[in-house]
Chains A and B, each alone.
Chain A
Amino acid sequence: MQTASSGKAGDRRSAYFSQERIVLAIAVVMFVLFGLTLPGFLAPGNLLSLVQSVSILGILAIGMALTIIGRGIDLAIISTMAMSVAWVIFMLGGGTPVWQAVLLGYLFVVCIGLVIGFLVAYAEIPAIFATLAMTTAIYGFTRVAFVDVDLLFIPQSASWTREFGAGYVFGIPIPVIAFAIVALLAHLFLRHTKPGVFIRAMGDNPLKARIAGIPTRPMMLLQYVISASIAFFAGLVLATLVGTMNTRVVNSTMVYDVILVVVLGGIVLSGGRGGIFNVIVGTLLIGIFLNGMTIMNVSYSIQNLIKGVILLVAIIIDTVLNPRDEQTSQQGDI
Chain B
Amino acid sequence: MRKLINIIGGAAIALGIGMTAVKAQDAGFDDGMSTKFYESMKGKKVVFVPISIGMDIAAGFAAGMQRMADQYGFQLQIRDPNWNVDQGVQAITQIISEKPDLVVIQNVDMQAYARVIKQAMEAGVRVLQVNVKATSNSTAHVGIDWYKNAETNALKLVEKCSPKNGGNGKIAALEGTPNNPTNFIGMKAFNDVMAAHPEMTVVSDQAADWDASKAHSVVSTVVRQSPDLCGYFGLWDGQDSGMAAAIREAGLTGKVFVVSQGAGEKAACEKIADGSYDFYVSYNIRELSKHINDAIAVILQRPADETLQPFAIYLTTQNLTKDTLTPSSCWTLDEIKRGY
Contacts and interface: CB of A to CB of B under 8 A. Distances in A.
B224 A46 contact: yes
A284 B133 CA distance: 42
B224 A43 contact: yes
Interface in B99-140: none
Contacts of A246: 210-212, 238
B54 A143 contact: yes
A49 interface: yes
Interface stretch (A144-152, A186-194, A207-215, A265-273): A144-152
Interface string A147-161: 011110100100000
B218 interface: yes
B175 interface: yes
Interface string A162-206: 100010000001000000000000000000000000000000000
Given A52-B220, A166-B248, A241-B213, A294 B241 contact: no
B245 A241 contact: yes
A40 interface: yes
A305 B212 CA distance: 22
Contacts of B56: 149-151
Interface in B119-173: none
14 contacts: A56-B213, A148-B59, A149-B54, A149-B59, A151-B55, A151-B56, A173-B249, A242-B212, A246-B210, A246-B211, A294-B204, A294-B221, A297-B203, A297-B206
Interface of B: 52, 54-56, 59, 82-83, 175, 177-178, 203-207, 209-213, 215-218, 220-222, 224-225, 238, 241-242, 245, 248-249, 267, 270, 333
Interface of A: 40, 43, 45-46, 49-50, 52-54, 56, 143, 148-151, 153, 156, 162, 166, 173, 238, 241-244, 246-249, 251-252, 290-291, 294-295, 297, 299-301
Given A40-B225, A241-B216, 14 more contacts: A54-B217, A148-B333, A149-B54, A150-B54, A153-B267, A162-B245, A241-B213, A241-B245, A243-B241, A243-B245, A244-B212, A251-B82, A252-B209, A294-B221
